[in-house]
């Protein structure tokens, strides 16, 4: 039987720290209010050069070093994020390229603050099924890019950062023993970035109303979160064949210390067994659990053979949990670390070389153009028609004056 062990872990946060006092200069709030209602004292915020991919790459290198692997040994890269680099390509593909993970598949996973546990579950399943032997699971966010810095209800809560783990196959029992994933889309409006997707494209009106930023019903989310932690921990621990009392450590999503305290009370587990670092990072969404795991190991709170449960919850609504028997890291030796750094430099050169080669190939051999066929003329409505959401549905590109001028052979032909 194959098991999926966590053999490496790492984190990376942007250098810039924003304190509660800094935020009180932007909105009507105080350090005392934020600490009392959330437990947050400060958060890290991306600088102009930090992106979700750059944070991911740094966290991933730390996790690979810890696992004693280099990028080329990875079979799959999953980046859990709600603030990707672009709609497409995926942030994971950019990370895969930077790490020289030339044999790996790569994709992004969107499940908001539950994303890391979702990704861990998928990665572990890929290993157990035999389709991968080494999987890089990253949670990374630049929440500051979708934060409304005029809204005191939300801007005090979030922060930026990335955390990563490496999953590796082994015959030795342990690792990720059980997971559970859940969703309830009826609560989708409770925590949402309304605009920027297909439902509400960005327009000047949208920007004027800050609809491209986070909106939240804090009280409802709070109630949901405490219930989600309680239920999912009980279920995942039961599935692993453990009891709650046997857990050495619980690493919950770091959203608000009061949510964690309320869940601890309802589970009857002392707060000392919960790992909390929300004080220094705020809510880093999908990044919060892998950042917390990395710090828990560094602080001696999580050791090999410990029973750890992690639980995520957030927009969707989504929630997810995992029960893991913690494994030893397999740190790279000094010489191997030097070689791995050379490898990342070479990956960068390889990426550039491939871009140059692609351009040169186009010049030398020419780009094959799809064959153009004469198109039938078809009448279309002259004006954009509003759809159900009030957004105009524009005629297909190439259409003007209510007529399609031409279309390429690759497009379906309209019958006259
Ligand atoms: N500073 C000062 N006052 C603030 C404030 C801030 N940053 N944010 C809100 N307030 C005000 C509100 O406007 C309200 O004022 P009013 O009574 O005059 O209307 C008052 O504080 C109380 O608001 P309320 O919503 O009852 O506060 P709360 O105790 O529920 O705390 C949250 C608000 C957001 C901290 C809390 O609801 C929460 O943490 N919810 C979960 C959010 C979360 O974790 N989301 C991510 C999940 S992944």
pLDDT category at 281 given cuts 50, 70, 90 is very high
Whether ligand 1 lies within 6 angstroms of the CB of 156 is answered as yes
Q: Which atom of ligand 1 is nearest to the CA of 155?
A: 7
Strand 160-170 relative to strand 134-142, pairing: antiparallel
Q: CA-to-CA distance for 282 and 253, rounded, in angstroms?
A: 10
Q: Once rounded to an integer, what is the mean pLDDT over residues 46-66?
A: 97
Contact predicate 78/109, CB 8 Å: yes
Domain annotation covers residue 347: no
Residue 378, pLDDT score: 60
> Is residue 258 located within the same domain as residue 387?
no
Q: Angle at which helices 31-38 and 257-267 pack, to 10 degrees? A: 20
Whether ligand 1 lies within 6 angstroms of the CB of 23 is answered as no
Closest-CA residue, ligand 1 atom 24, reads: 219
Q: Once rounded to an integer, what is the mean pLDDT over residues 349-364?
A: 88
Task: Establish whether the linkage from the previous residue to 233 is cis, with ω within 30° of 0.
Answer: no
Q: Is the pLDDT of residue 166 over 70?
A: yes
The size of the chain, in residues, is: 416
Distance of CA 386 from the midpoint of ligand 1 (Å): 37
Helix (H, G, I), strand (E, B) or coil at 102: coil
> Is residue 141 located within the same domain as residue 222?
yes
> Is residue 411 located within the same domain as residue 281?
no
> Is residue 295 located within the same domain as residue 148?
yes
Closest-CA residue, ligand 1 atom 38, reads: 218
Residue 368, pLDDT score: 67
Contact predicate 212/146, CB 8 Å: yes
Domain annotation covers residue 197: yes
Q: Is the pLDDT of residue 387 over 50?
A: no
Strand 105-109 relative to strand 134-142, pairing: unpaired
pLDDT category at 369 given cuts 50, 70, 90 is low
Domain annotation covers residue 100: yes
Domain of 248 in residue numbering reads as 3-332
Distance of CA 187 from the midpoint of ligand 1 (Å): 18
pLDDT category at 334 given cuts 50, 70, 90 is confident
Domain annotation covers residue 19: yes
Q: Residue 198's domain is classified under what CATH number?
A: 3.40.47.10
Quick one: 226 exposed, middle or buried, by C-beta within 10 A (0-12, 13-18, 19+)?
buried
Q: Once rounded to an integer, what is the mean pLDDT over residues 227-248?
A: 97
Domain annotation covers residue 357: no
Using a pLDDT cut of 90, give the percent of the chain over it: 82
> Is residue 66 located within the same domain as residue 179?
yes
Q: Is the pLDDT of residue 390 over 70?
A: no
Choice among 205-214, 329-338, 340-349 with the minimum mean pLDDT: 329-338
> Is residue 326 located within the same domain as residue 402?
no
For residue 324, list its beta bridge partners. Answer: 176, 308
> Is residue 27 located within the same domain as residue 174?
yes
Burial of 90-123, coded b for 16+ CB within 10 Å and e otherwise, reads: bbbbbbbbbbbbeebbbebbbbbbbbbbbbbbbb
Q: Is the pTM of this model over 0.75?
A: yes
Q: In angstroms, what CA-CA distances link 289 with 97, 131, 140, 158, 341?
A: 25, 25, 10, 14, 27
Q: CA-to-CA distance for 288 and 312, rounded, in angstroms?
A: 9
Domain annotation covers residue 338: no
Q: Once rounded to an integer, what is the mean pLDDT over residues 269-274?
A: 97
Q: Considering 332, 362, 387, which residue would you say is the last residue of a domain?
A: 332
Burial of 260-277, coded b for 16+ CB within 10 Å and e otherwise, reads: bebbbeebebeeebbbbb
Distance of CA 218 from the midpoint of ligand 1 (Å): 6
Q: Considering 276, 310, 332, which residue would you say is the last residue of a domain?
A: 332
> Is residue 381 located within the same domain as residue 308?
no
Q: Is the pLDDT of residue 289 over 70?
A: yes
> Is residue 281 located within the same domain as residue 215?
yes
Q: Once rounded to an integer, what is the mean pLDDT over residues 358-375?
A: 75
> Is residue 308 located within the same domain as residue 178?
yes
Choice among 156-170, 240-254, 320-334, 380-394 with the minimum mean pLDDT: 380-394
Express each pLDDT in 60-89 by its tens digit. 999 999 999 999 999 999 999 999 999 999
Beta strands in 96-234 (DSSP E): 105-109, 134-142, 160-170, 175-183, 191-192, 215-216
Domain annotation covers residue 346: no
Contact predicate 285/141, CB 8 Å: yes
pLDDT category at 22 given cuts 50, 70, 90 is very high
Q: Considering 314, 332, 350, which residue would you say is the last residue of a domain?
A: 332
Mean pLDDT of the chain: 90
Q: Which atom of ligand 1 is nearest to the CA of 112?
A: 48
Catalytic residues: 113, 253, 283
Whether ligand 1 lies within 6 angstroms of the CB of 33 is answered as yes
Express each pLDDT in 99-109 by its tens digit. 999 999 999 99
Residue 393, pLDDT score: 41
Question: How many domains would you assign to the chain?
Answer: 2
pLDDT category at 392 given cuts 50, 70, 90 is very low
Q: Is the pLDDT of residue 396 over 50?
A: no
Residue 375, pLDDT score: 63
Whether ligand 1 lies within 6 angstroms of the CB of 187 is answered as no
Express each pLDDT in 170-224 by its tens digit. 999 999 999 999 999 999 999 999 999 999 999 999 999 999 999 999 999 999 9
> Is residue 268 located within the same domain as residue 392?
no
> Is residue 376 located within the same domain as residue 321?
no
Q: Angle at which helices 91-98 and 52-67 pack, to 10 degrees? A: 50
Domain annotation covers residue 360: no
Distance of CA 103 from the midpoint of ligand 1 (Å): 47
């Amino acid at each position: 039987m194959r098991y999926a062990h966590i053999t490496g872990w790492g984190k990376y946060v942007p250098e810039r720290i924003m304190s509660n006092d800094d935020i009180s200069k932007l909105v009507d709030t105080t350090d005392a209010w934020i600490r009392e209602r959330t437990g947050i004292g400060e958060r890290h915020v991306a600088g102009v050069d930090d992106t979700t991919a750059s944070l991911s790459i740094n966290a991933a290198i730390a996790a690979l070093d810890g696992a004693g692997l280099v990028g080329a040994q990875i079979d799959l890269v999953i980046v859990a994020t709600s603030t990707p680099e672009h709609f497409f390509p995926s942030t994971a593909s950019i990370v895969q390229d930077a790490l020289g993970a030339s044999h790996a598949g790569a994709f992004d996973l969107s499940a908001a603050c539950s994303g890391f546990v979702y990704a861990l579950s998928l990665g572990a399943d890929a290993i157990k099924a035999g389709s991968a032997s080494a999987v890089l699971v990253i949670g990374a966010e630049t929440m500051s890019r979708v934060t409304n810095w005029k809204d005191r209800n939300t801007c005090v809560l979030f922060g930026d950062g990335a955390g990563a783990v490496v999953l590796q196959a082994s015959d030795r029992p342990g690792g990720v023993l059980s997971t559970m994933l859940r969703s309830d889309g009826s609560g989708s409006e409770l925590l949402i970035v309304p605009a920027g997707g297909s439902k509400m494209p960005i327009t000047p009106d949208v920007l004027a109303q800050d609809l491209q930023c986070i909106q939240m019903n804090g009280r409802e989310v709070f109630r949901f979160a405490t219930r989600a932690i309680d239920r999912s921990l009980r279920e995942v621990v039961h599935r692993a064949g453990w009891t709650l009392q046997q857990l050495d450590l619980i690493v919950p999503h770091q959203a608000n210390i009061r949510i964690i305290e309320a869940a601890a009370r309802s589970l009857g587990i002392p707060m000392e067994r919960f790992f909390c670092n929300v004080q220094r990072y705020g809510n880093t969404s999908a990044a919060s659990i892998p950042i917390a795991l990395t710090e828990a190991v560094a602080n001696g709170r999580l050791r090999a053979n410990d029973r750890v449960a992690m639980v995520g919850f957030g927009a969707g609504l989504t929630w997810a949990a995992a029960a893991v028997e913690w494994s030893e890291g397999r740190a790279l030796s000094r010489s191997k670390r030097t070689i791995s750094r050379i490898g990342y430099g070479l990956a960068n050169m390889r990426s550039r070389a491939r871009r140059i080669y692609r351009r040169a190939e186009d010049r030398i051999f020419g780009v094959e153009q799809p064959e153009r066929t004469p198109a039938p003329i078809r009448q279309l409505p002259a004006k954009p028609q509003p759809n159900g959401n009030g957004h105009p549905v524009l005629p297909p590109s190439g259409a003007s004056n209510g007529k399609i001028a031409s279309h390429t052979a690759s497009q379906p032909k309209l019958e006259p």
